[in-house]
Amino acid sequence: MGIDSWPVIRQLTGTDPLGRGRAARTSRTDALRARTESADRVVDSVCPYCAVGCGQKVYVSGEKVVQIEGDPNSPISRGRLCPKGSASKQLVTSPTRQTRVLYRRPYATEWEPLDLDEAMDMIADRVLAARREGWQDTFEDKPVRRTMGFASLGGATLDNEENYLIKKLWTALGAIQIENQARI
Amino acid sequence: MSNSLYGPLPDVAEDAGYTDAPERRGFFTDTSVCIGCKACEVACKEWNAVPDDGFALTGMSYDNTGALGASTWRHVAFVEQTRPRQVGDGSDTRWLMASDVCKHCTHAACLDVCPTGALIRTEFATVVVQSDVCNGCAYCVSACPYGVIDRREDDGRAWKCTLCYDRIGDGLEPACAKACPTDSIQYGPLDELRERARTRLDALHEEGVTEARLYGEDDGDGVGGAGAFFLLLDEPEVYGLPPDPVVTTRDLPAMWKWAGGAALALAGGVALSFLGRR
Amino acid sequence: MAECHPVGFQWVMEAKARGARIFHIDPRFTRTSAMAHRHLPIRAGSDIVLLGALINHVLSGGHDFREYVLRYTNASVILSEDFQDTEDLDGLFSGYDAESSSYDPETWAYAGGEQEAPAAGARDEQQKGDDPDKGTGRPPGPIRQEHGPGATYEATSSQTGHADERDETLRHPRCVYQVLKRHFARYTPELVEQVCGIAPEDFAELADAVVANSGRDRTTAWVYSVGWTQHTVGAQYIRTASILQLLLGNIGRPGGGILALRGHASIQGSTDIPTLFNLLPGYLPMPYAHHHEDLDTYLERAAGDTGFWGRKRSFMVSLLKAWWGDAATEENDFCFDYLPRLTGDHGTYTTVLDQIDGKVKGYFLLGENPAVGSASGRLQRLGLAALDWLVVRDLQLIESATFWKNSPEIETGELTPEGIGTEVFFLPAASHVEKDGTFTNTQRLLQWHHKAIEPPDDARSDLWFIYHLGLRIRERLAGSADPVDRPVLDLTWDYPEEGPYHDPSAEAVLREINGYDADGTVLSGFTALKDDGSTSCGCWIYSGCYTDGVNQTARRKPGSEQSWVAPEWGWAWPSNRRILYNRASADPQGRPWSERKAYVWWDGEQWTGHDVPDFEKTKPPSYEPPPDATAEAALAGTDPFIMQTDGKAWLFVPRGLVDGPLPAHYEPHESPVPNLLYKQQGNPVRQTFQRPGNRYGPVGSDVYPYVFTTYRLTEHHTAGGMSRFLPYLSELQPEMFCEVSPELAAERGLVHGDWATVISARTAIEARVLVTDRVRPLRIQGRVIHQIGLPYHWGSAGAVRGDSVNDLLPIVLDANTHIQESKAATCDIRPGRRPQGPALRALVRRYRRMAGIPED
């Protein structure tokens, strides 16, 4: 670092004799840039909270989300977001977010860890058992071909594609108690 | 009295040594369209990684933020009023909401008292804290006529709104202004904002909203005009704003006459403390 | 709207800046009220009186948009002589059966209609002589969801409107117009004052503004949310608004409408492609159990033959082909028998009660938190505790996942972890930026969100979960000879996999939803669907979202580079139409009603305009259908309501609603006052569940003298799973509070900032007290009624915690929708914190005893 980068030198020799502006800048200040400008990529998204459907831009650096803000191109939201939409990054990067499978045995007082693959197998077994247990060929003499053994309640932040496969699989299994926040 | 420390100052950035400065930038916060959603508070925190400020119900209407501070750079005030109806019987409720922020004063006492050069004027004529320089002396805290800047408990340093210096340098809007759903917070060249504000004020007066007024847009006020100014629907005190703020360093030039070479010593101090942190 | 949809509210602010007048009708003064020209505080649960009085004002003052009403609605249709109104029967319509608490809608029919009987029973389940519903003791009826445009697209069956008797002078005493007039004649400003608590001069200001702002040159919009739907008369709230808007000519026109503001990113999509018990994709009904039903008889019951529902066979066959592919053939009725059958109400509340009764073994919660978000939280949690197993998929450890260790029932000692046998799997979910897919927003707009990063650790999308679970289940069933396994094994379940976690391609799923022709080419829209099995389509109303093989939902042409309708941003169902029934924006001859309100019009050769016409492009206004025409060909060139069998909007609904052809004011199930209008106090067909844990407060009880209403705050999101765990939102509204008027605070000794306990017939909760002029006592029937405002976001987990308001609510449902009454119930309030532990239940019991309520 050359001597002319010293603030006091800049102050005494430059245009900022009181040292309240240009002369007092640090190299860190000089280097400040918006992290959105240097993001590895910017991905188009939609706010996950209410149904206004505000456009979001998701900025990713080093495979981490570094910023989520409004998409000015959206004719719905024109780049604006409410407090919840503005908190979207915290939603995604929350330190309290549970990212591992947890398992609670019947009558247990604590969680225990469980491998995702094993959990999926266990759930598949339980679905088939409950399906059998609750199976009805007829109800009051009428054919129903259904199971009352398990039920499902989805939130309304599910994607259409997700709802579609949920309805498709559950219905094929004969489940009918398939519900959603939309009725609440 | 008009000089670098008090009164109107036509080119604030130039006064701070920027010979090729862009137009002065600022905020115009039009509280008449503020819906109190607090998007500004959250967007500010997300962008600037400002920590949360505690989880306490204040009981002050829907304001659980309380005031600007080291970890609150935007603060939405909520004021509930009950007034007699203009026509007919009964009373009407009025709920005022206003997003407060650092005023980025033309004459910024925080900056003038900062012994380390941590607080500087930028080329946009805004005032920012350089956190790599701040030593936490807190002179700025007591100097601010609005009670904006504050020290954070954990790291001891002073923090406040930067007008998203990193963003505006890249041609972006500050985070709060960008998020604001109703454009209550507007960012831009200060002259344009002032023009827009006067037009809006005239329109409101025409609509019969006679109590509408601008706050902080006047070069002749005690801070030489604010870089962040407001359209209010009541007296400033109602929103918790000082009615007649004066830069606390107004009398500094007079003091200098007495103090002789103090200015140079101060500048030297800036440099020393700067070097000390390297 | 400013509270819960702030960014949408920018357009209201724009309108205001351009001179629009804004009224806000709400029990509380909210952030929306602050921006409105006038706030009208209303007693929760009384809106039909207010809207009915507006209808009366329009009709008695001759303010209706006569040409619109005459040509586009069923105002002139003459009703059967057998129809009796609530005015005749003191709050009941003809056809009521007290024993089953249900209506036979036969007498609601049009006079001389082709369809003799059964006049109503719009859907499969209401067919006479084959009553499927022994489960709950009442016919469930056609079912509509929370709210939103989907409802208007729902199938209503074979009532054909043609050749009915009409009186175009609207003078016939039995014509719909005159029936309406009599029905609402007692809905006066004086009644509004008595029932709603709104002063006559305030009503007059509203009525004058609405009338003055409707007509050829101007339109008025009504905007609502669950404040209208979460009532035992919820569907009829919307109906009342529909009647008003139709009389004023405000439907199908720019700036008009009844706009449902939905609270979740894809709650509209969740009804379009429903995870709802009674619907198949595209509002086709789930089949009910009948003897000897095949596809043809199902279709006969499912929807009418005229209007666009006349294409129902192509919709249904294409859906069956999408699901069962090559296995679905003409010979086997396209696997129609693979669909399980309904026998009553299998909605979420019935299911929870069945859980408590041990009838349901397993439960999936996919991004939903009923322990906090559903009415009667205690019963919700008791239901979870009675399961064999539970799978919770979410971002955070929500209360529905942790109920076995930290629920209020653990605190009261009713439950202990050691006593709860539920096996719980918590599977972490992917966030919206970690998966591809579409949300459908509140204006039916599908928008694609692209995956930005992979989800962390074990987190996966629900698409991944359901797909891989399906693979595992099919693997286990492979080779099974049991016929019950055929629907699973024959299911089309072969999606291309992507990425390190083998995610199924969301685009491939969306293409399946859009549909293919026989060659595997992506279809251009639902009119290309065939009923012979040569096309497949997962949801007919979404067909066209992948037109030309392009993901139309991912279109993002900047708003600034296109018209104000912005047709190239995302894709709206159906056929990218942005305003439904927009043929009504033109007069019968096809000309805009006014230049100012021009939207679509007939240019001499075709329909054109700012939007995609919601009409056949080349059908001239002069078109008259031949007598035996079906589907849309049966509708005239002047019939804008193309999903209706007669192309007309129904002011009077002869079939399709289980609680009456017209809206009538009924008091909320729990109400402090008697019904001033009729002897009938509450909706006669509302669903009640008298059982332990679900006791109701008596009408006019001085033990529970206050009304409470629940709502959301800007700073939080519904049951809090996406907000209470985030510090930046939690700090903004950190504690559960109640809002009370200074008068109520004085009456009960409540101190601002201190605690209060709110007690209902179900439980008691505590909240910090906000005393505010924003809540006002109302004078109702000569006495003062206090209302208490309760935001419902908090629970026992999260960065900020508090009691859950939904615990206070009973399970009592709208019989049309099976949605709970959340917006009006009764309670007491007293200063101080609630008792802890078993003392809490003792307090609730003591109150119940005082009120004479049966013991649990």
User: Mean pLDDT for each 10-residue chunk of chain C (856 residues)?
Assistant: 96 96 97 97 98 98 98 96 97 97 94 47 46 37 38 47 78 97 98 98 98 98 97 98 98 97 96 97 96 93 93 98 98 98 97 98 98 98 98 98 97 97 98 98 97 98 98 98 98 98 98 97 98 98 97 98 98 98 98 98 98 98 96 97 95 94 98 98 97 97 98 97 98 98 98 98 98 96 96 97 98 97 98 97 98 91
Q: How high is the mean pLDDT of chain B?
A: 90
Nearest CA to CA, how far is C560 from chain B (Å)?
Answer: 17
CA–CA gap between residue C792 and residue C747 (Å, rounded): 24
Amino acid identity, position B233 = L
Residue of B nearest to C7 (CA): B181
Domains of chain C: 9-260 (3.40.228.10), 687-851 (2.40.40.20)
What's the alpha-carbon Rg for chain C, to the nearest Å? 26
C-beta atoms of C31 and B37 within 8 A: yes
- Per-residue pLDDT tens over the stretch C791-816: 999 999 999 999 999 999 999 999 99
Confidence of residue A8 (pLDDT cuts 50, 70, 90): low
Residue B52 in contact with partner chain C when CB distance is under 8 A: yes
Give the residue ranges of chain B where pLDDT is below 70. Answer: 1-4, 252-278
CA–CA gap between residue C2 and residue B62 (Å, rounded): 14
Residue of A nearest to C799 (CA): A96
**Does residue B266 belong to any structural domain of this protein?**
no
C-beta atoms of A21 and B128 within 8 A: no
Which residue range forms the structural domain that includes residue B179?
12-251
Q: Is A127 a residue whose pLDDT tops 80?
A: yes
Give the one of C199, C729, C774 whose C-beta lies nearest to B42's C-beta: C729
Residue of B nearest to A16 (CA): B17
CA–CA gap between residue C283 and residue C288 (Å, rounded): 15
C-beta atoms of C770 and B64 within 8 A: no
C-beta atoms of A7 and B169 within 8 A: no
Mutate to test the interface with C, among B78, B93, B231 (most CBs of C within 10 A): B93
Tell me phi and psi for residue A175, to 5 degrees.
-75, 140
Q: At which residue do the structure tokens 């200074």 appear? A: C742
**Does residue B52 belong to any structural domain of this protein?**
yes
CA–CA gap between residue C764 and residue C752 (Å, rounded): 19
For the record, the structure tokens of A54 come out as: 């505000």
**Does residue B263 belong to any structural domain of this protein?**
no
Which residues in B lie closer than 8 A to residue A21 (C-beta atoms)?
13, 15-18, 120-123
CB neighbours of residue B58 within 10 Å: 15
CA–CA gap between residue B190 and residue B124 (Å, rounded): 10
Tell me, what's the pLDDT at C854?
87
C-beta atoms of B123 and A22 within 8 A: yes
Which residues in A lie closer than 8 A to residue B111 (C-beta atoms)?
20
**Does residue B273 belong to any structural domain of this protein?**
no
Tell me, what's the pLDDT at B58?
96
Tell me, what's the pLDDT at B8?
85
Alpha carbon separation from C174 to C58, C80, C82, C108, C181 (Å, rounded): 19, 8, 10, 11, 11
Nearest to C37 by CA among C205, C198, C189: C205
Mean of pLDDT values over A134-142: 97
The answer to whether the Cα torsion of C727, C731, C734, C739 is positive or negative is negative
Tell me phi and psi for residue B262, to 5 degrees.
-60, -35
Answer whether C265's CB lies under 8 Å from C135's CB: no
CA–CA gap between residue C388 and residue A151 (Å, rounded): 12
Alpha carbon separation from C821 to C185, C229, C251 (Å, rounded): 27, 8, 27
Burial of A53: CB neighbours in 10 Å, binned 0-12, 13-18, 19+: buried
Tell me, what's the pLDDT at A16?
87
Tell me, what's the pLDDT at C463?
98
C-beta atoms of C263 and A154 within 8 A: no
| Residue C432: alpha-carbon gap to chain centroid | 24
Which residues in C lie closer than 8 A to residue B36 (C-beta atoms)?
2, 31, 34, 714
ipTM of the complex: 0.96
Count Cα neighbours of C262 within 13 Å in the Cβ-side half-sphere.
Answer: 31
Which residues in B lie closer than 8 A to residue C730 (C-beta atoms)?
52, 55
Which residues in B lie closer than 8 A to residue A26 (C-beta atoms)?
130, 132-133, 274
Pairing relationship of beta strands A178-180 and C102-103 according to DSSP bridges:
unpaired
Give the one of A52, A104, A168 whose C-beta lies nearest to C423's C-beta: A104
Number of domains in chain B: 1
C-beta atoms of C374 and A184 within 8 A: yes
Helix (H) or strand (E) run with residue A11 in it: helix A7-13
Nearest CA to CA, how far is B188 from chain C (Å)?
Answer: 20
C-beta atoms of C437 and A45 within 8 A: no
**Does residue B159 belong to any structural domain of this protein?**
yes
Q: Is residue C37 classed as helix, strand or coil in its secondary structure?
A: coil
**Does residue B262 belong to any structural domain of this protein?**
no
Share of chain A above pLDDT 90, in %: 89
| Residue C266: alpha-carbon gap to chain centroid | 13
Tell me, what's the pLDDT at A15?
84
Give the one of B80, B93, B181 whose C-beta lies nearest to C6's C-beta: B181
Phi-psi region of C658 (alpha: psi -120 to 50; beta: other; left: phi over 0): alpha
CATH of the domain at B153: 3.30.70.20
Nearest to A90 by CA among C642, C500, B45, C46: B45
**Does residue B227 belong to any structural domain of this protein?**
yes
Tell me, what's the pLDDT at B257?
53
Q: At which residue do the structure tokens 């701070």 appear? A: B16
Q: Is residue A6 classed as helix, strand or coil in its secondary structure?
A: coil
All partners of chain C with 3 or more CB pairs under 8 angstroms: A, B
Tell me, what's the pLDDT at C136?
37
Mean of pLDDT values over A87-104: 98
CB neighbours of residue A168 within 10 Å: 24
All partners of chain B with 3 or more CB pairs under 8 angstroms: A, C
Nearest CA to CA, how far is B112 from chain A (Å)?
Answer: 7
CA–CA gap between residue C68 and residue A148 (Å, rounded): 49
Tell me, what's the pLDDT at B276?
42
Nearest CA to CA, how far is A31 from chain C (Å)?
Answer: 27
Which residues in A lie closer than 8 A to residue B167 (C-beta atoms)?
34, 36
C-beta atoms of C441 and A51 within 8 A: yes
Tell me, what's the pLDDT at B271?
44
Tell me, what's the pLDDT at C540?
98
Nearest CA to CA, how far is C685 from chain A (Å)?
Answer: 18
Omega of the bond leading into C118 within 30 degrees of 0 (cis): yes
Domains of chain A: 1-32 (no CATH), 41-93 (2.20.25.90), 102-183 (no CATH)
Residue C726 in contact with partner chain B when CB distance is under 8 A: no
